[in-house]
A and B are shown apart, each in its own frame.
Chain A
Amino acid sequence: MADIRIPSSLDEVFRLLRDVPSTRLFAGGTDVMVRSFPDTLWRESLLCLERVEELRGISESATEVRIGAATTLSELIGSSLIAERFPLLRQAARHIGAPAVRNMGTLGGNICTASPAGDTLPPLYILNAEVELRSLKGTRRMPIGAFITGPGQTQREEGEVLCAVVIGKEQGFDLHHFEKVGQRKAMAISVASLAFAAETRRDGTIVKARCAFGSVAPTVFISRPLNDTFAGNTLNRAVLERVAAMVREGVSPISDIRASMGYRKQVAGNLIMRLEGAGKDR
């Protein structure tokens, strides 16, 4: 039978990890408890991070915002700092599960699960978020895009803990848009999602834009040529049609119980077309 530890400090976490390096880490349990029960949970040693003080809360320095990995999605949504600085991240978090799931699930969990459908991931890519990993050997930081290497795959090594997500404060975007297509509104895993942010001039011309798609490739889909296509243009139909065609060409979705590959490609392009009406929503 499995043992479960709920340490309250990072020191204790590292001590427990040193004793049993194969211990599986979880925080909210919204993923691990669903996947593990009842087969593996009885055999694995588990470590719950939800009470580790160093992993909780949102703080800011002069240039960066630091979000503790065990911050729940509800806490993220309720933070005025996040609402003010990263409305895109807040919008995406609001699309996850339902209130009780967001009261349990954490930002760090959404990242470490590394699902192609993780809803906080596209905005984190757009915001150039970095993850902070700590172990007894030290601390390292890397871009989210380098950390996640495939579905369920990350660079996290044995003995290492994802401690925080760090995002630069000045992003320079004045237009933010997140849309998720799922089979229903609550409790649905994304069939395709789009996060979009842009810096625009008064007349609507785009100075720079970034878009990131979820659920249409093994990891979040981003493309520099795609982003560059927006520059110097407004979000008019001709430009969006050109981008949508590039998106449908570039993405590599799978067919699964939720949607087919063809449907996901079509929808990924359609999500771009819907930017035509996207206002300045902050």
Chain B
Amino acid sequence: MKRKITFMLNGSPVAVETDPSRRAVDVLREDLGLTGTKEGCGSGECGACSILVDDVVKLSCIMTAAQLEGRKIVTIEGVGQGGELHPVQRSFVELGAIQCGFCTPGMVVAAVGFLKGNPDPTREEIRAGISGNICRCTGYEKIIDAVEDAAAKIRGGRSGG
């Protein structure tokens, strides 16, 4: 029973004709070709499939396609703007917060969402903020360094102008 589902995806309106009970992660990856969003556990426990839904971090592997309707969706492909990396992405690259890279898109999206609500976090708050995202390379220290660095970049950017 296919249905037309329309929503904003990374700043542009999209419409997909699909079964509304499919998972959002599958629609994003298979129908819309946005393979940056990863499926790790498939049960909402690892954070690899994190996306922003109306600016709030949610897990696309435990979300149905139907729930995308009318929402503003941002995936890893859309966190940067105008061809520029998002400050969180820049900090991840500069500080080597990437090992195998599989958790990185979810980690970045979770960090972007977290910093919207808490622009000046302590390291402990960062730990709690990304606590649903698992890095099996266990590169957490550098990931936390990168989120801390990105927070400073974003704050600097704001106050500078």
Residues of A within 8 A of B (CB): 1-6, 29-30, 33-34, 37, 41-42, 46, 48, 50, 74, 97-101, 103-104, 185-187
B20 within 8 Å of A (CB atoms): yes
6 closest A-B pairs by CB: A98-B132, A186-B131, A33-B62, A4-B66, A2-B21, A4-B20
Query: Which residues from chain A contact B91 at a C-beta distance below 8 Å?
Result: none
Count: A-B pairs, CB below 8 Å: 79
Instruction: State which residues 1-26 of B face A: CB under 8 Å.
Output: 1, 19-21, 23
Contact B21 A104 (CB under 8 A): no
Known contacts: A3-B1, A4-B66. The answer to whether A103 contacts B56 by CB under 8 A is yes
Minimum distance in angstroms from B28 CB to a CB of chain A: 16
Known contacts: A30-B44, A185-B131, A187-B132. The answer to whether A3 contacts B20 by CB under 8 A is yes
Query: Which residues from chain A contact B63 at a C-beta distance below 8 Å?
Result: 29, 33, 104
Cα A197 to Cα B132 in complex, Å, equals: 29
B103 within 8 Å of A (CB atoms): no
B35 within 8 Å of A (CB atoms): no
Chain B residue at minimal CB-CB distance from A46: B21
Query: Which residues from chain A contact B1 at a C-beta distance below 8 Å?
Result: 1, 3
Cα A6 to Cα B114 in complex, Å, equals: 27
Q: Give 9 pairs: A residue, B residue, CB < 8 Å, sorted on A.
A: A2-B21, A6-B69, A30-B44, A99-B128, A99-B129, A99-B131, A103-B56, A104-B62, A185-B131
Known contacts: A3-B1, A186-B132. The answer to whether A100 contacts B47 by CB under 8 A is yes
Knowing that A29-B64, A101-B44 touch, tell me 13 more A-B residue pairs with CB under 8 angstroms: A1-B21, A3-B20, A4-B66, A5-B66, A6-B67, A48-B64, A48-B67, A98-B47, A100-B44, A100-B58, A104-B62, A104-B63, A186-B128
Minimum distance in angstroms from B92 CB to a CB of chain A: 19
Residues of B within 8 A of A (CB): 1, 19-21, 23, 42-45, 47, 50, 56-59, 62-64, 66-67, 69, 110, 113-114, 128-129, 131-133
Query: Which residues from chain A contact B132 at a C-beta distance below 8 Å?
Result: 97-101, 186-187
With a 10 A CB-CB cut-off, give which of A6, A74, A104 has the most chain B CB atoms: A104
From B58, B66, B131, B133, give the contact of A6 (CB < 8 A): B66
Query: Which residues from chain B contact A50 at a C-beta distance below 8 Å?
Result: 67
Known contacts: A4-B21, A29-B67. The answer to whether A34 contacts B131 by CB under 8 A is no
Contact A100 B50 (CB under 8 A): yes
Known contacts: A97-B132, A100-B132, A103-B58. The answer to whether A1 contacts B44 by CB under 8 A is no
Query: Which residues from chain A contact B19 at a C-beta distance below 8 Å?
Result: 1
Minimum distance in angstroms from B30 CB to a CB of chain A: 15
Cα A100 to Cα B129 in complex, Å, equals: 9
Query: Which residues from chain B contact A34 at a C-beta distance below 8 Å?
Result: 43-44, 62
Chain A residue at minimal CB-CB distance from B56: A103
Chain B residue at minimal CB-CB distance from A102: B132
Contact A42 B59 (CB under 8 A): no
Chain B residue at minimal CB-CB distance from A184: B131
Contact A100 B21 (CB under 8 A): no
Minimum distance in angstroms from B22 CB to a CB of chain A: 9
Query: Which residues from chain A contact B44 at a C-beta distance below 8 Å?
Result: 30, 33-34, 100-101
Minimum distance in angstroms from B109 CB to a CB of chain A: 9
Query: Which residues from chain A contact B21 at a C-beta distance below 8 Å?
Result: 1-4, 41-42, 46
Cα A97 to Cα B62 in complex, Å, equals: 14
Contact B131 A104 (CB under 8 A): no
Contact B110 A104 (CB under 8 A): no
Known contacts: A4-B64, A29-B67, A187-B45. The answer to whether A100 contacts B20 by CB under 8 A is no
